[in-house]
Amino acid sequence: MIDFIRQNVLSHFGEKMDNAKVSPLGNGHINHTFLVRWPAGELVLQKINTQVFTTPEALVNNSDKISRHLAGKSQNKQYQLQVVSPELTQDGALSIDLGEGGFWRALNYLPHSVSVDVVSTESHAEIAAQAFGHFSGALSDLDAELLEDVIPNFHHLPGRIELLSKAVAQDSKARLSECQQWVDFVMAQTELLQELAEVEATLPRRICHNDTKINNMLFDKRDMSSLAIIDLDTCMKGYLMYDFGDMVRTFCSPEEEDSTTLDNVRVRESIFAAICKGYLGELAPILSDVERQSLWLGARVICLMIGVRFLTDHLNGDVYFHIHHEGHNLERAANQFTLYLSLLSQQDTLSAYLK
Ligand code: GN1
Ligand code: MG
């Protein structure tokens, strides 16, 4: 793909790109991301996965609106983090549509940044949770109706379970027998669905990040303070409980989301407590009572839901999430279900931090 980029994409950013170096960046599961460096500068280039983001223009327009809002706040010091903004093409466009050659867009690169995939200290968890809270707080006065739903029903557990049922019925890759136990496990979680239906009906929809993984918060590598919130692809209306939930999911385990060392996959209480401290410290003034009470539910739903999504993709033959080897999505699913079980087993202790 790097040759393709050199030949067809870089020229849209001007002649300065003639001697640019292009290298893969990050480890997202959906888009392809590259760092482009030339003697006088650098930028982040992305090929948007248009099977997942079927209206990529909506994605770039949403992130442009968010960047502008945050940049405005940052000028009068109401937003303290750095802002990821679009790098326009020579013609002033937000994106380049090359048809079969893909849909591309560029963003500014943030120097001194570093991401982590596993949280090692309570302090990092608190800093990152505070940053995500600060981000949501800064967007709380942007009209949510201005953003398009880039993926409708993105965080919708009943819909995700329905897709799992379809995949089970088709069993197109004859993989069901090896994961039947996990399918049965998911189908038994009816109480959670009941609780979700009751709570959801009472919650306000706000602009959410919707992918608050630990590696979507960049640290400043000079002092490990928070630098920026990145990956605005799925920013749209939603429930804040899921932003909280994705932090719990990705900060609390001492193992990565695809680790097969399941004995060690668990929710670390001290990290959970640090998330609550950092997130509520920023957002408490904005959260309504029902939203605050929903956070524990959001954590459980998000862990189960991503497990369901990985399992579904395994059954469908790995058509959604990029994989690195056969069985990768099933490994991810088993890991996330294990984490979900760890959450349930600590219900009383953990939920007390949210009171
Ligand atoms: C995907 O590609 P990435 O890493 O930003 C997925 C998220 C999942 C995540 C699991 C659009 O995010 O919903 O939580 O993988 N994004 C989309 O790691 O489906
Ligand atoms: Mg993402």
- Out of 211, 248, 329, mutate this one to test ligand 1's pocket (max ligand atoms within 8 Å of CB): namely 211
pLDDT tens by residue, 156-169: 999 999 999 999 99
CATH 3.30.70.141 fits 2-109, yes or no: no
Any ligand 1 atom below 6 A from CB of 238: no
Which ligand has the shortest distance to the CA of 153?
1
Structure tokens at 79: 């937003």
Q: Which of 27, 23, 52, 26 is nearest to 35 (CA)?
A: 23
Any ligand 1 atom below 6 A from CB of 46: no
Q: How confident is the model at residue 27 (pLDDT cuts 50, 70, 90)?
A: confident
- Out of 30, 52, 229, 258, mutate this one to test ligand 1's pocket (max ligand atoms within 8 Å of CB): namely 30
- On whether the CB atoms of residues 97 and 103 are closer than 8 A, the answer is yes
pLDDT of residue 268: 98
Q: Which of 100, 97, 297 is nearest to 203 (CA)?
A: 297
What residue type is 276 in one-letter code? Answer: C
Share of the chain above pLDDT 90, in %: 97
Distance 234 CA to ligand 2 centre (A): 7
Any ligand 1 atom below 6 A from CB of 282: no
CATH class belonging to 122-354: alpha beta
Q: How far apart are CA 92 and CA 344, in angstroms?
A: 50
Q: What is the mean pLDDT of residues 69-90?
A: 97
pLDDT of residue 263: 98
pLDDT of residue 17: 85
Q: What is the mean pLDDT of the chain?
A: 97
Q: How far, CA to CA in Å, does 144 sit from each of 83, 141, 148, 166, 201? A: 19, 8, 9, 32, 18
Q: How confident is the model at residue 16 (pLDDT cuts 50, 70, 90)?
A: confident
- Is the pLDDT score of 98 beyond 80? yes
Share of the chain above pLDDT 70, in %: 100
- On whether the CB atoms of residues 150 and 59 are closer than 8 A, the answer is yes
Any ligand 1 atom below 6 A from CB of 56: no
Angle between helices 289-316 and 176-187 in degrees, nearest 10: 160
pLDDT of residue 68: 98
Q: How far apart are CA 63 and CA 139, in angstroms?
A: 12
Q: What is the b/e burial string over 70-79, where b = at least 16 CB atoms within 10 angstroms of the residue's CB?
A: beebeeeeeb
Q: What is the mean pLDDT of residues 145-166?
A: 97
pLDDT of residue 257: 97
Which ligand has the shortest distance to the CA of 242?
1
pLDDT tens by residue, 289-346: 999 999 999 999 999 999 999 999 999 999 999 999 999 999 999 999 999 999 999 9
Which ligand has the shortest distance to the CA of 231?
2
Antiparallel, parallel or unpaired: β 103-108 and 86-87: antiparallel
pTM above 0.75, yes or no: yes
- On whether the CB atoms of residues 255 and 222 are closer than 8 A, the answer is no
- Is the pLDDT score of 15 beyond 80? no
Q: How far apart are CA 234 and CA 276, in angstroms?
A: 23
Any ligand 1 atom below 6 A from CB of 29: yes
Place of tokens 């029903």: 153
Domain ranges of the chain: 2-109, 122-354
Specify the 3-state DSSP secondary structure of 303.
helix
Q: What is the mean pLDDT of residues 207-222?
A: 98
pLDDT tens by residue, 239-276: 999 999 999 999 999 999 999 999 999 999 999 999 99
Structure tokens at 249: 């999911």
pLDDT of residue 130: 98
pLDDT tens by residue, 186-204: 999 999 999 999 999 999 9
Same fold, 2-109 and 122-354: no
Q: What is the mean pLDDT of residues 101-110?
A: 98
Nearest CA to ligand 1 atom 15: 29
Paired with 238 in beta bridges are 206
